[in-house]
Amino acid sequence: MTLVLCVVLVALVFEYINGFHDTANAIATSVSTKVLTPAQAIVLSTVCNLIGALIGVAVAKTVGQGLVDTKFMTSTALLCALAGAIIWNLLTWWLGLPSSSSHALFGGMCGAALAAAHGDWSAIIWYRHTAIDPVTHQTIQLGFLKSQGLWPKVVFPMMAAPVLGFLIGLIIMGLLYFFLRNTRPRVVNMVFGKVQILSAAWMSIGHGMNDAQKTMGIVALTLFTATTKSDAFANLPGWLDFLHLPKFEIPFWVKVTCALTMAAGTAAGGWRIIKTLGSQMVKLQPVHGFSAQTTAAVIIESASHWGIPLSTTHVISSSIMGVGASKRFNAVKWSVVERMVWAWIMTLPITGLIGYAILRGAQLLGLA
C-alpha cells in the first residue's frame, strides 16, 4: 500500500515538473513578443491547461495500456520509470533545453519494463494493429492511427510532428506575409497582438489535453495493477475504496488531481526554457507568435483526438522554426536548434537507460 501511494505521489511530482518544464510551450512566444507580461501569460496558461486536462482520456489510455506490457509494470517498475523521467527533465530544465517530458516518461517506462522482464524485449509493445471487438468478440484490424505501440504512437509522431510543425508554420506565415504585404506594420502588430492571446489560450488547452493525460494514465495503471495483481489494497478502509480500480479506466478524481497538479506546476513558471524558445531561436513579432501557436495547437489537438501522446515541446519548437524560416532561412539561429535536436534524439535512449539501471539496481539489492 505504501509503495503504491509513493508511486502516485512521484507521478504527481512528475506532473508538477512537467507543468513548469513545459510552460514555455504555450506562452514563450506571447512573452517574447510582449503581447503578455510573464505573469499574465502564466495565469492564462494555468487556467487553459486545467481546462484542457479535463477534456478526453484517449492519450491517458495509450500511456496506461498501449506502450508496454502491463504485466511487467509493477509499482516498483513504475517508480523507476518516473525517476528516470524526472532526472532527465530536471537536467534539461537546468540547461534551458526544451526537451520532451513525454518522451522522458516513455523512455523511462520502456527501460523499466525491459528490466522487469529480465531483458525480454517483448515487454515493449512495438506495433499492435489488431483488437478484439467488444460486441462480436472477433479480431479486427486497426488503422495505423488507431494502432497501439511505441512505433505508431511515439517514434513515428516524434519524426512526423516536427516536420509538420515546420512546414505548416512556414506555410501559414507565408500566406500571412502575402495577404498583409500592404498593411502597415503598426496595424499588423496591434491586431495580432490581440489575436495572439487567443492562439496562446488554444495552445494551452491543447497542451493540457495531451500532456496532463500522460500522468493520468500512469496513476490509473498503478491503481489497476495494485488492485488486480497484488493484495496491496486488500484491507483498505471503506473510505479509501475509490483507490480500487478493477478495470483500466481513468476515474474523475484522477483527472482532476492531475489537472490541478499540472496547473500548479504551470503557475511556477519555467523561465529558462521560455528564454530559449521565445528569443534565442528567432526574433518574433505578434504575427509570428500567432502563426506558431496556431500551428502547434492544430497538430496537438489532432493528435490528442487519436490518442497520440505527442511531444508538445517538439511541435511548438519546430513551428517557431518554420515561422522564422519564412522570413529568411538564416533568421533561425540554427546553433540553438542543433542543441535542441540533440536533446530530442537523446531523450528516449537516455531515460530508457536510467529507468533500466534504477530497476536493475533495485533488483540486485533485493528491493524489487
pLDDT in the model for residue 98: 65
The β-bridge partners of 141 are 130
Greater model confidence, 83 or 45: 83
The β-bridge partners of 140 are 131
**227-238: pLDDT as tens digits:** 887 666 667 677
**107-128: pLDDT as tens digits:** 999 999 999 999 999 999 999 8
Mean local confidence (pLDDT), 305-318: 85
pLDDT in the model for residue 336: 65
Domain boundaries, the chain: 2-364
Q: Is the pLDDT of residue 176 over 90?
A: yes
Greater model confidence, 104 or 267: 104
> How many CB atoms sit inside 10 A of residue 6's CB?
15
- The whole-chain average pLDDT of the chain stands at 85
Mean local confidence (pLDDT), 87-105: 81
pLDDT in the model for residue 339: 72
Q: Is the pLDDT of residue 24 over 70?
A: no
**268-309: pLDDT as tens digits:** 765 555 555 545 555 678 898 899 999 999 999 999 988 998
pLDDT in the model for residue 276: 56
**152 neighbors 307 (Cβ within 8 angstroms):** no
Q: What is the CA radius of gyration of the chain?
A: 21
Per-residue three-class SS string for the chain: CHHHHHHHHHHHHHHHHHHHHCHHHHHHHHHHCCCCCHHHHHHHHHHHHHHHHCCCCHHHHHHHHCCECHHHCCHHHHHHHHHHHHHHHHHHHHHCCCCCHHHHHHHHHHHHHHHHCCCCHHHECCCECEEECCCCCCEEECCHHHCECHHHHHHHHHHHHHHHHHHHHHHHHHHHHHHCCCCCHHHHHHHHHHHHHHHHHHHHHHHHHHHHHHHHHHHHHHHHHHHHHCCCCCCCCHHHHHHCCCCCCCCHHHHHHHHHHHHHHHHHCCHHHHHHHHHHCCCCCHHHHHHHHHHHHHHHHHHHHCCCCCCHHHHHHHHHHHHHHHHCHHHCCHHHHHHHHHHHHHHHHHHHHHHHHHHHHHHHCCCC
Q: Is the pLDDT of residue 87 over 80?
A: yes
pLDDT band at 226 (very low <50, low <70, confident <90, very high): confident
Q: Is the pLDDT of residue 96 over 80?
A: no
Backbone angles phi, psi at 330, to 5 degrees: -85, 5
pLDDT in the model for residue 272: 57
Spatial CB neighbours of 150, under 8 Å, sequence gap ≥ 6 = 67, 106, 110, 124, 125, 126, 127
| Alpha-carbon span 75 to 116, nearest angstrom | 11
Q: Output the CA angle 309-313-318, nearest 5 degrees.
A: 110
pLDDT in the model for residue 357: 96
| Alpha-carbon span 147 to 153, nearest angstrom | 8
Residue 23 identity: T
pLDDT over 90 for what percent of the chain? 33
pLDDT in the model for residue 282: 56
Greater model confidence, 168 or 337: 168
Q: Is the pLDDT of residue 78 over 70?
A: yes
Mean local confidence (pLDDT), 179-189: 91
Greater model confidence, 102 or 184: 184
pLDDT band at 361 (very low <50, low <70, confident <90, very high): very high
The answer to which of 165-169, 236-240, 244-248, 346-350 has the lowest mean pLDDT is 236-240
